[in-house]
Amino acid sequence: MKVLITGGCGFLGSNLAASYLKEGAQVVVVDALFRKGSAANLAWLESQAAKGRFHFIQADLADAEAVLAVFRRHAPFDYICHVGGQAGLTESPFIPFPQG
């Protein structure tokens, strides 16, 4: 079984990835490491994975070429879990949030 997880270094994604790795799946994670703590989650996942069963690609999902490159290199997938994204608007570096 081969699974692609976007945001695989976040809260939901890293737990999903660890669970699939435990089941013996091959796991491909795409994450920009935007979130504080996601690099630590990546290190944790790498420590869980058997050699050759975990692939990490640091890329922004808004970068269509980078996402296409992931599919060219790693597809087909049995499952795609899309949990990459901003969990809270207030933390977005792109949206000016009204103060006060």
User: Which residues sit at the interface with ligand NAD, rule CB under 6 A?
Assistant: 7, 9-13, 31-35, 38, 60-62, 83-87
Task: Give the nearer residue to ligand NAD in terms of CB position, either 96 or 100.
Answer: 96
Q: Closest approach of Cβ 11 to ligand NAD, in Å? A: 4
Q: Closest approach of Cβ 26 to ligand NAD, in Å? A: 20
Rounded to an integer, what distance in angstroms lies between the CA atom of residue 8 and that of residue 14? 5
Helix extents (H) in 1-100 = 11-22, 38-48, 64-74
Q: Which residue is nearest to ligand NAD (CB)?
A: 10
Nearest to 73 by CA among 21, 26, 15, 33: 26
